[in-house]
Amino acid sequence: MSSPFARTHGRSAHALLLFQADAAHFSELAANMTKSFDPAFWDPAKGVYSTGTQMAQAAALWLDAVPASRLASVVDQLATSVTTTGITFGFLGVQ
């Protein structure tokens, strides 16, 4: 599975550095980051990523790191948070 993160940053990193031979390496690093996100940040007791912030849920979705079995739940949690409290993910999440 190739996430938006892997597709965007894997290619842009090697393009920025102008090292075509490193393209596969950077793409692999990005893909590994995507695969590592779910086990590192999913909190099964709370049913959210990290502490449940909008940014954590949005990052998991953007990285395409959410397993299909939890996708609807994560989207619902994020949507409920945004409609209840407004956007709270701050300037880092806007980037």
Blockwise average pLDDT, block size 10, the chain, 95 residues: 55 60 77 87 95 93 91 96 88 59
Helix (H, G, I), strand (E, B) or coil at 15: helix
Residue 67: other Cβ atoms inside 10 A: 10
- pLDDT of 93: 59
- pLDDT of 46: 94
- pLDDT of 25: 79
Domain that holds residue 15: 4-94
Helix (H, G, I), strand (E, B) or coil at 92: helix
- pLDDT of 41: 96
- pLDDT of 9: 55
Total tally of structural domains belonging to the chain: 1
- Closest listed residue to residue 3, CA positions, set 67, 52, 70: 67
- pLDDT of 7: 55
What is the spatial distance between Cα 37 and Cα 69, in angstroms, rounded to a whole number? Answer: 16
pTM: 0.70
